[in-house]
Structure 1
């Protein structure tokens, strides 16, 4: 669901430009408003939507999610520590979702250099490097073996 900008709400602050990981949010030099230069390359991370102080950026919904191109409103509520999503369907139904903001303090994530070099034997497993220790769990959940699949 690529993003788009409501030009009447945008004040050209550039928060979306600074946070966009794919560098597709730009400021129009003539009108001093943000716009998505390449919606097809949008990572759909919605960082720009959440960062916009004017709530000028929305998400175009896919047909299976928000029929007939209706937009999806995303609101970051810092004071409540929540991200809210609101979808309005053509028939008037409204669906709302709320999730806690789960960000970590800047610098709290250890860099890769702080971990030991992974063991070469780990290449033959489904685990990522340093799992499950780095996740601070004893073991990762697994599915029971299927009787239909013979490996």
Structure 2
């Protein structure tokens, strides 16, 4: 079910240039009502239910209704975001409460080097069936090739182990 904003809790993220929910929503559904100074979901039927807005709201003003087969009527699911984790609180219909704590990403944005340890690409490799870095990421020199695979218009000959060398040639 789509998210909704509790107008009594929402302050429109006055300290920011736009509400946190509007910034994080991947479908650009959350917007600021300038007259009221509150955020709202402009197209609930288009909501992807990713709950990014729910997790990022500093006022805990955004909530969601769970589907009845997952969350029966009267139950609730509420996130509370800290500086290093998100605590999800589940309240069941019989008032039992369970809490689950998950760490937030600890690697800074832009600090991961995805091509670290890989050699510079070669234009001739564009015609190869292998992916860049495949041998590095998978930790193998060769990959098995199923029978009947045709590369560049000719059938590949396989060795008894059924693998190709990293450069696409048979072993």
Q: TM-score, normalised by structure 2?
A: 0.62
Residue 3 (structure 1) aligns with: 3
Q: Does the aligned pair in 1 maintain the 2:74–2:92 contact within 8 Å?
A: no
Partner of 1:121: 129
Instruction: Give yes or no for the alignment of 1:44 onto 2:49.
Output: yes
Q: Deviation of residue 8 (structure 1)?
A: 0.3
Alignment-derived partner of residue 86 in structure 2: 83
Q: Give 1:106 deviation, angstroms.
A: 1.8
Give the unaligned 5+ runs of structure 2.
Answer: 14-18, 141-171
Output one character per residue of 1:16-51: Cα deviation in whole Å (capped at 9) or x when no partner.
111211100011232111111122322333222222
Which residue, 62, 69, 75 being the options, matches 1:64?
69
Alpha carbons of 1:108 and 1:61: their partners in 2 closer, same or farther (altered >3 Å)? same
Q: C-alpha distance in 2, partners of 1:68/1:129?
A: 50
Structure 1: gaps (5+ residues): 123-127, 140-151
Asked if the contact 2:76/2:90 (under 8 Å) is kept, the reply is: yes
Aligned position for 2:21: 16
* CA distance in structure 1 between the partners assigned to 2:80 and 2:53 by the alignment: 11
* CA shift for structure 1 position 69: 6.3
* 8 A Cα contact 2:74 2:93, kept in partner: no
- RMSD over equivalenced CA pairs, Å: 2.9
- C-alpha distance in structure 2 between counterparts of 1:52 and 1:15, whole Å: 6
- Count residues with an aligned counterpart: 129
1:31 to 30, 36, 55: 36
Which of 91, 102, 106 in structure 1 is aligned with 2:105? 102
